[in-house]
Structure 1
């Protein structure tokens, strides 16, 4: 297998000797306290506290120390590989539906919670767009048949799902895709079609608050709900497609959801393998005090967006066209992370850190050493502590967070497909 990046990789794998490439990352009277000015000041203070807390993926200078622990490299070679980061063009702004007041208030950082009717309107707009994209793609694609299904969760929420089925090839396996925070399953359509070309039927689920699914955009009251929805969806897929091996793909927070679902033996026993890209396994608050404040603020102002938008602070790809496509997509949330959502990510990350040794499913994890959103050293910890006997990790030198939207995407997709092929 050709390496994805240049350099002198260190080979590391528990399933074979050559399947892994690891490379070198408040005073006054009562009326004063209750004044609007005081209230605004209080909200600003809370927002300032939460600002650093729930970015919550903090970029850290870890790639260098991680690289030194894996392999020694000449300094000039490292400089030679250093990639210029590309930030989102300033002309790209958050999408606001003219029919949805909730979308406008959320993207502008309004502290008030949107009304249920406003949320329903916003969901209707998102869902209509998600459905239209499936229908349009179905009409113009000859090698894959793309369809959608509204799946009812155990809580009664409508979850938007879609599938890609190869038209002329015999189906030899199933792949279920779970997207990352703030995005949606439709972004992985090209990857799904490549999987179709190799005989795999592909399913995608927009987890709660994302894409065409119910919920305020990018608000997740509990990631356990997303885990529960994934389990129910998997059970339906397996019942409808008996006898076929099933693999899971999870990106970023989607990868954390996948891993938590795999801690349920009744689910993991039905899965042949898991592929994770840039999983949110080791998310940490920027200061310990914020871990104390997080549950309080998430109760008081759960939907409050805090911090700077990801598009201006944390580069996720070195491909400018991929960035434009992502942040001009109406189904991608471009506002600041919501308090409760960030708190839930901290919780699931902490849970996984304490239970890594219980993971026994075959897996492949890929992570860019220059990722400033999630921590590649946490992926290395996952690899080291998991009980899986079939596990592989690839740390890709200089690559950023959205691996399937990096310039090297084709090679990465091919390596993922090859890993799955070897286990069918």
Structure 2
């Protein structure tokens, strides 16, 4: 029998690790995940994945593995407070997105300290979806020079969608009445049928025990309205490289607002991709081919940015 040939490190799947971090308030822990190249010393970039409201970071396991293996990337993520495996009550709640921003910043800094590297030495990219897109933008506003690679956003919360009259009325009622109602009071149910165009995908979302299944409270709705105002105000000062992908049929976040943000942004490197008929969660648009289109577009943008940063 011939000698068995061992696979090269480039052919091996990424090394996965999960752990908990104690947050700065000393009162709660967040669940964290990493996907690492087999030789972490040869990592070429770091990518942080920031999930949306009601999600958890393992939703993005498939793309994390692709990036870790193809780009020798240290990919990291965590479940936000009150989401997935992280601590926090009530679930899927905060009265300020700054809490999530602070946790993300802490997680990223902790990872770089362990590597004994800086974002200048190991370019940092942030991928964010929906509320995670808003968190990513707010993080970039506070630490623009740390995001040395750039932002990759999918259906980010820049403005709520008012795609029909009923949604427009609901939006204005929530914004006005919600400002005086108790923070813990339920505002509206989180409907996964609004997130995707394929019923099979909505059914999968509803079966996922780590997703949030319940009502969104007024406190976090107010927090997201505040974030929207801050993002709107910062657009013309935003100069971090950015890729933004948005579906025209997004019922939760407004694609027109994404176009306006990109037009106003001061970034020298900015790309907007609009996916016709795409719903909110573009990675779950299988039948239309949008999922594959987005993966390809992200890959091309990431490849160009890696080349530009010399990594």
282-291 vs 204-213, which moves further:
282-291
Q: Is the 8 A contact 1:247 1:274 kept in 2?
A: yes
Residue 270 of structure 2 is aligned to residue 384 of structure 1:
no
Alignment partner of 2:157 out of 268, 271, 280:
280
Task: State the alpha-carbon separation in 1 of the partners of residues 114 and 238 from structure 2.
Answer: 27
Alignment partner of 2:228 out of 338, 346, 349:
349
Task: State the alpha-carbon separation in 1 of the partners of residues 135 and 107 from structure 2.
Answer: 13
CA RMSD of aligned residues (A): 2.0
Count of aligned positions? 277
- Match of residue 6 from structure 2: none
**SS, match of residue 356 in structure 1:** helix
**Structure of higher CA gyration radius:** 1
Decide whether aligned partners of structure 1 residues 320 and 167 sit closer, same or farther in structure 2, where only a CA change above 3 A counts.
farther
Task: State the alpha-carbon separation in 2 of the partners of residues 287 and 255 from structure 1.
Answer: 20
Task: State the alpha-carbon separation in 2 of the partners of residues 168 and 323 from structure 1.
Answer: 38
Decide whether aligned partners of structure 1 residues 236 and 194 sit closer, same or farther in structure 2, where only a CA change above 3 A counts.
same
Q: TM-score by structure 1 length?
A: 0.62
Q: Is the 8 A contact 2:192 2:205 kept in 1?
A: no
249-258 vs 412-421, which moves further:
412-421
Alignment of 1:19-418 (within 5 A): 143-156=13-26, 157-167=28-38, 170-198=42-70, 199-216=72-89, 217-241=91-115, 242=117, 243-264=121-142, 267-271=143-147, 272-283=149-160, 286=170, 288=172, 290-297=174-181, 300=182, 302-312=183-193, 314=194, 316-407=195-286, 408-418=290-300
Task: State the alpha-carbon separation in 2 of the partners of residues 330 and 290 from structure 1.
Answer: 28
Task: State the alpha-carbon separation in 2 of the partners of residues 166 and 290 from structure 1.
Answer: 45
Task: State the alpha-carbon separation in 2 of the partners of residues 303 and 309 from structure 1.
Answer: 15
Q: Is the 8 A contact 1:283 1:345 kept in 2?
A: no
Deviation at 1:344, TM superposition (A): 0.9
Q: TM-score by structure 2 length?
A: 0.83
Q: Is the 8 A contact 2:95 2:222 kept in 1?
A: no
Q: Which has the higher strand share?
A: 2
Deviation at 1:213, TM superposition (A): 1.3
Decide whether aligned partners of structure 1 residues 295 and 145 sit closer, same or farther in structure 2, where only a CA change above 3 A counts.
same
Task: State the alpha-carbon separation in 2 of the partners of residues 390 and 259 from structure 1.
Answer: 15
For structure 2, the 5+ residue unaligned runs are 1-11, 162-167, 307-311
For structure 1, the 5+ residue unaligned runs are 1-141
Task: For CA contacts below 8 A with separation 6 or more, give which structure has more relative contact order.
Answer: 1
**SS, match of residue 268 in structure 1:** coil
